[in-house]
Chain A
Amino acid sequence: MMIDELFALLRYRVRSMWRKPRIDLPLFGALLLLMAVGLTTLYSASDLDRGQVLSQALRFALGLALMFTIARVPPLTLRNWTPWLYAGSVALLVVVAVLGEGRGAHRWLDLGFVRFQPSELLKLTMPMMAAWYLNGRPLPPSWTTLGVVGVLIAIPAGLVAEQPDLGTALLIAASGAFGVFLSGLAWWRIGLLAGAFAGVVPIAWHFLHDYQRNRVLTLLDPEADPLGNGWHIIQSKIAVGSGGLWGKGWHHGTQSRLEFLPEHTTDFIFSVFAEEWGLVGVLLLLALYVFIIARCLWIAAEAKDTYARLLAGSISMALFVYVMVNGGMITGMLPVVGVPLPLVSYGGTSAVSLLAGFGVLMSIHAHRKTVAP
C-alpha cells in the first residue's frame, strides 16, 4: 500500500517534471552543446576510449538529474536551508582535514560506497551563504558586513588551501567575493581591497608550499626546467601553438595522442581541443561560454529577491573563473593550478557540482515570478 502510494507520487512528480520541466531552454541547449563538445573532445583525448566517455556521460546524466531536481526546489527553500548546508559542508571539510585521504593531499572523503571531495560542495554552498548573509544586510555592504563575509569566505577557503588545493580554494573564495561585488560594494572600497591584496601577496608567498611556488616560478620561465616543472606548460603551449588557425583535426592532435601532453583528459583537455580545432574552435568555444555566462547573468537579473540575484550572479561569474584560470594555465599565462574546464574536463565531482549549480539557476529562473518575503 505504502509502496503503491510512493510509486504513484513518484510517477506524478516525474510526469509533472516532464510536462513542466522548469528550465531555461536557451541555457539548457547551450549546456547540452557544451557537454557534447566535452564528450567529443574526451573521446579524442582518451585515444578513443569508449569506457571513459561512457563513464563521463553517466556523470553528466547524474548531474542533469540533480539539476532537474534542484530546479524544482523553490529559491526560498534553498535560502532557508543555506546556513545548514554551509555549516554542514564546512564541517565535512574539517573531517577531511582530520582523517581524509588522497594522493599527497587530503581532499577525499570515503563514504564506503562513494568517494567525493567536500570542497566541491563549497563551490555551491559558499555563494549561497554569501548571498544569504548579504540578503539580510543593508546594501551596499558596509565594512562590518564585508568583514563578516570575509570570515565566512576565509574559513572554507583556508581549509581547502591547506589540503592543499589552491585551485578550488581560489574558486570558493571567488564565488563568495562575487556576491559582495554584485551586492554593490563601492568601487573605492574595491580599490582599497585590491591594494591591500597586492600588499599581502608577498606575505602569502611565504606560506605557499614549495610545489606551489615552483608552479609560479615555472610560469615565469618554463624553459628553465623543461623536463620537470616546465614540462606541463611547455607541452601545453606546443599543443596549442601547433594547432594553428584551423587545428590539426579531430583525433589528429599528436601532442595528446602520443602522450607528450600530461593530464590530457582532465586539466589539460583544453590544450587538446585547441590543438585539434585551432583558434577558430577556441574562439567558438569561448563564445559558447560567454553565451552561457550572459544567459546566467540575465536569469540573475530577472530574479525578484536579492538572495536569488546574488546567488545566480555569483554562480555565473564563478563559471568565468573556471574558464579563465584553465585557459590561462594551458596558454602559460597563469600558474598550473588544478582547475578543470567546465563540463569538458574528465572528472565526476566537478561535472556534478557544476550541473547542480545550474540547477539552482534553473530554479531561480523557474520561480522568477514569485516574490520572496
Chain B
Amino acid sequence: MPAAFKPLKESRHEAAMFRRRALAGFAIIVLCLAALGVRFAFLQVEQHDEFSARSEANRVLTRPLAPARGLIYDRNGVLLAENVAAFRLEVTPEQVPDMKAMLERLGQIVPIGEDDLARFNSLRKGKRSYQGVPLRLKLSEEEIARFSINRWAFPGVEVVPYLTRAYPLGAEFAHTVGYVGRIDADDLAKLDKGDYAGTTHVGKTGIERYYEDRLHGEVGYEKVEVNADHRPLRVLPDRLAPKPGQNLYLTIDAHLQEAAEAAFEGRAGAAVAIDPRNGEVLAMVSVPSFDPNPFVNGIAHADYAALLEAPDKPLLNRLIRGHYAPGSTMKPFVGLAGLELGLRRPQDTVLSTGEFFIPGQSRGYRDDKRGGHGRVDLVQAIAQSVNTYFYSLAFDMGIDRFTAYMDKFGFGRPTGIDLTGEGSGVLPSRDWKRGRFGKPWYPGETVIAGIGQGYWVVTPLQLANALATLANRGVPNTPHLLLAAQDGLDARPEPVAPPPSGASVIKKPDDWFAVAQGMIEVVKSGTARGLNDGFPYVIAGKTGTAERYSRTDETWTSISSSPIERHQVLFECFTPADAPRIAVVVALEAGRSGAHDAAPIARKILDAWLPGDIERQGSDPRTKIAAQDAPP
C-alpha cells in the first residue's frame, strides 16, 4: 500500500460525520435560541409590569400647573389686585452654546438691564440646564416684534406668555392689600413643596400674605412626553386642572380710601375708618405710600434703596406699626374709666387753676390754658380738653386700675386685624416699666398718663379700634378687612363670618352718654368747634395734640421749632353720635394742633362716606337739617 501512511479521505464517512455534527450543532442552536426566547419571555411577560412602569417613568414628565391667584376687590367690586397677561423672554441654557456671546447679541435687539442679568444668573443656579429661565420680563409689543424677526438667530430663546400680579390702584393700597413677590429661600422653608410646585410668587405683605392660603388655590398637573434630553415633545391628555384661588372682597371702600389719601395732601400720617357696628375697616391709609407693582418681579436695587432712605419712610406701614403718643384723644377713655370705676359722677366738678399738684409735691402739671378753665364737669373737661380734670382723676385711680381699664379697649396689644406684622404699642403699667427700664413706677407718671402722655404709645389702628368699641357702646368688634370670598368667577361671593363681638366693656349706659355728650361738645363748642357745620349727622370727636419728639433721641428734645411742625396731631370721631356707623381716627406726624390739621382730614373722610351712607339708609337727612336751619 504505497501511500498508505497518508490516511485516505473517506468521502462517505466524512459526509455522514458531518450530518451527525450538523444535527448536533442544530440541536444546540435550537436549545440556545430557545433559552434566548425564554429570556425574552421572562422580560416581556414576567417582568413586563415593572419595565412598563419604568418606560412610562422615562417618557412621562409630570409638570405642575400653577393655579391662577385669586383676585382682590373692594367691598363694591373695584379691582385692587389682578393677574395680567404678559410676555417674557426665556432661555434654555442647554440649547445655547455660548451664553455670553448670545446675551450680548440679544441685548442689541431687546434691552437687557443689569438687574435682569443678575436675576437670570441667580435663577439659573436653581434649575436644570434643560429648563427655561426667565431673562426679560414684561416685553413690549415692539420688543416682541423685534425679537420675533430675529428669532432664528437665537436657538434656545423663546417668548413665553405668563400671568403677573398687578395692582391697578398702585400706592393707594400698598399698605393694606400688600404685594406678592418671588418665592425666596425663606418662603421655601415654610411653604408646602407640593402645593407650590408650579408657583413662582407668594404673598409677602398685607392681605396678599395674610390670606395666602385662600388666594393661592390648588396646584394642577399636566403630563408631557419628554425625550431622553428631557425636552418636552407633546402634552398628554391626562391632565388635572389647577383650582384657582378664591377671589376676596375687602371691607374697604376704594372710593373712601381714595378720598382719605387725597385729604392728607401728601403729609405723613395715617387714617383709619371703621364701622363700629361690626369692625369692618372701611378705609385705612398710610401716607406716604409706594407703588407695590415693581416689587412683584423684583424691584431694582437703586429704587429700593431710594425707598428705604426716603426721610418720610414710605415703606413704613404707619397704620399698624406707626407709633404715636395718643395725647388728649385718651381723655374720653379716662373719663369713662372714672365713671365706671365709681370715682366720679358726671356732674362732679374739678377746679382748673392752670396747674395741678400732687399733694406734698412741688412739681406742677400744667393746663394748656394759662390760668385754667375754672370749675369744669366731665362734659366740659372733655370739650375743653382740661388737663387738670384728668390729672386728678388718674391720680385718684392709680396706675393699676388705670391700666386694667384701658386694657379692655385693647391698648397695648395687637388688635387682631387680618394683617401680619401688627405692632402692640405701649400701655404703661408697673410691670411694663419694670420690665423695660428696671425702675419702679412714680405717681407723677400716673398723672401724665391721664392725658395720654408719658410712656403711652398707640398705633392708629389701636386707637381706631378703641374708638370703635367706645362708639359701639362698649361692645368690641375685632377690626377686619375680609368681607366675602368667591370660589371662581361664576360662584356667588359668600360672606365671611367676622370675628365674634365681645361682651360690652361699659357697665352703665349713662356713663356712655356722659362721655358721648362730652365728645359732641368738642365738635359743637369745644376744641374742634365748627367741624359739624354742614354735616347732617351729629359728630362726636376729640382732638389730640402732643409734643413731637425725635424717636431716636433719648433726651426727648423737640425736633422742630416751627409751630406748624412741632406737634404730632390726632383727631378721633364717630357719627351719627347716637348710633355710630363710622368711627374715624386721623394721625398726622407734624402739625399745629389736632383741631387745626387732623380734624379737617377726618371731616373730608366723613364727607366722602356720607353719600353712600345716605343711600344705604334710604332717606336723606339733609332735608331735615335744611328744614331746621330754615328761618322761621
A complexed with B = yes
- Residues of chain A having any CB pair with chain B under 8 Å: 138-140, 178, 181-184, 235, 237-245, 254-255, 258-260, 274, 278-279, 282-283, 286, 289-290, 293-294, 297, 300-301, 304-306, 309-310, 313, 317, 320, 323-324, 327-328, 331, 333
Query: A245, B45: Cβ atoms under 8 Å?
Result: yes
Q: Is the CB of A301 within 8 A of B18?
A: yes
Question: Does B41 make an interface contact (CB < 8 A)?
Answer: yes
Chain B 32-45, CB-CB to A under 8 Å as 1, else 0, gives: 11001101110111
- Are B30 and A290 interface neighbours, CB within 8 A? yes
- The answer to whether A293 and B26 touch across the interface, beta carbons within 8 angstroms, is yes
Known pairs A238-B55, A317-B29, A320-B32. 19 more at Cβ < 8 A?
Answer: A138-B6, A138-B8, A182-B25, A184-B21, A238-B58, A240-B43, A241-B48, A244-B52, A245-B44, A259-B227, A260-B227, A286-B33, A297-B22, A301-B15, A301-B18, A309-B15, A324-B32, A331-B40, A333-B36
- Given contacts A139-B9, A240-B40, A331-B40, are A254 and B33 in contact (CB under 8 A)? no
B54 at the interface (CB under 8 A from A): yes
Flag if A241 contacts B26 (CB, 8 Å).
Answer: no
Bound-state CA distance A313–B6 (Å) is: 26
Q: Is B489 an interface residue (CB 8 A)?
A: no
Minimum CB–CB distance for B32 against chain A, Å = 6
For the complex, give the distance between the alpha carbons of A258 and B56 in Å. Answer: 11
B50 close to chain A: CB less than 8 A = yes
Other-chain residue from A242, A259, A289, A306 in contact with B51 (beta carbon distance below 8 A): A242
Q: Which residues of A contact B228 (CB under 8 A)?
A: 258-260
- A contact residues around B229 at 8 Å (CB): 259
How far is A235 from B226 in the complex, measured between Cα atoms in Å?
15
Q: Is the CB of B36 within 8 A of A294?
A: no
**Cα(A310)–Cα(B45), bound, Å:** 39
Shortest Cβ distance from A304 into chain B, in angstroms? Answer: 8
Q: Min CB distance, B59 to chain A, in Å?
A: 5
Residue pairs across A and B with Cβ atoms less than 8 A apart, 24 shown, are: A138-B7, A138-B8, A178-B25, A182-B25, A239-B55, A240-B43, A241-B52, A242-B51, A242-B52, A242-B55, A242-B56, A274-B44, A282-B37, A286-B36, A289-B33, A305-B11, A306-B9, A313-B25, A320-B29, A323-B36, A324-B36, A327-B36, A331-B36, A333-B39
B11 touching A244 by the CB < 8 A rule?
Answer: no
3 closest Cβ pairs, A-B complex: A241-B51, A242-B55, A138-B7
A244 adjacent to B45 (CB under 8 Å)? yes
Q: List chain B positions with a Cβ less than 8 A from chain A.
A: 6-9, 11, 14-15, 17-22, 25-26, 29-30, 32-33, 36-37, 39-41, 43-45, 47-48, 50-52, 54-56, 58-59, 225-229, 233
- Residues of A near B58 (CB, < 8 A) are 235, 238, 254-255, 258, 260
Pair B48/A245 contact, Cβ less than 8 Å:
yes
- Asked if residues A242 and B48 are in contact (CB atoms below 8 Å), the reply is yes
- Which listed residue, A283, A289, A294, A304, touches B26 by the CB 8 Å rule? A294
CA distance in complex: A56, B116 (Å): 51
Known contacts A139-B17, A254-B58, A305-B11; is-contact A244 B48 (Cβ 8 Å): yes
Select one of A140, A254, A260 contacting B17, CB under 8 A: A140
Contact among A237, A304, A320, A323 with B43 in the assembled complex (CB-CB below 8 Å): A237
Find chain A residues with CB under 8 A from B233 CB.
258
Measured CA separation A184–B15 after assembly (Å): 10
- CB pair A306 B40 closer than 8 Å: no
Q: Write out the residue numbers on chain B whose beta carbons fall within 8 Å of the beta carbon of A274.
A: 40, 44
In this complex, what residue of B is CB-closest to A235? B58
B40: chain A residues within 8 A (beta carbon): 240, 274, 279, 282-283, 327, 331
A343–B40 alpha-carbon span in the complex (Å) = 20
Which residues in B have their C-beta under 8 angstroms from that of A240?
40, 43-44, 51
A242-B54, A283-B40 known; A306 vs B11 contact (CB < 8 Å) = yes
Q: Is the CB of B9 within 8 A of A320?
A: no
Q: Are A181 and B226 in contact (CB under 8 A)?
A: no
Q: How far is the CA of A279 from the CA of B45 in the complex (A)?
A: 8
With contact pairs A140-B17, A242-B48, A274-B40 given, residues A255 and B55 touching in the complex (Cβ less than 8 Å): yes
Q: List the B side residues contacting A259 at CB < 8 Å.
A: 227-229
How distant is the Cα of A242 from the Cα of B226 in the complex, in angstroms? Answer: 17
Using Cβ atoms and an 8 Å threshold, which residues of chain A touch B19? 301
In the bound complex, what is the Cα–Cα distance between A243 and B47 (angstroms)? 10
Min CB distance A75 to B, Å, is 15
Q: Which residues of A contact B14 (CB under 8 A)?
A: 139, 183-184, 306, 309
Task: Give A333's nearest chain B residue, CB to CB.
Answer: B39
Alpha-carbon separation in the docked complex, A301 to B48 (Å):
41
**How far is B229's CA from A305's CA once the two chains are assembled, in angstroms?**
57
A279 close to B33 (CB less than 8 A)? no
Do A278 and B33 touch across chains, with their CB atoms under 8 A apart? no
A242, A255, A313, A328 interface centre (most CB from chain B within 10 Å): A242
Question: How far does the alpha carbon of A140 sit from the alpha carbon of B20 in the complex, in Å?
Answer: 13
CB pair A290 B29 closer than 8 Å:
yes
Instruction: Assess whether B18 is in contact with A310, with CB atoms less than 8 Å apart.
Output: yes
- Least Cβ–Cβ distance between B72 and chain A, in angstroms: 44
* Partner among A182, A235, A258, A305 whose Cβ is within 8 Å of the Cβ of B21: A182
Docked CA distance A283–B36 (Å): 10
User: Residue on B with the closest CB to A242?
Assistant: B55
Name the distance in Å between A282's Cβ and chain B's nearest Cβ.
5
The residue of chain A having its C-beta at the shortest distance from the C-beta of B7 within the complex is A138
Chain A residues near B30 (CB-CB < 8 A): 290
Residue of B nearest to A275 (CB): B55
Separation of A237 and B40 alpha carbons in the complex (Å): 9
| Known A-B contacts A182-B25, A241-B52, A254-B58; A283 and B37 likewise in contact (beta carbons under 8 Å) | yes
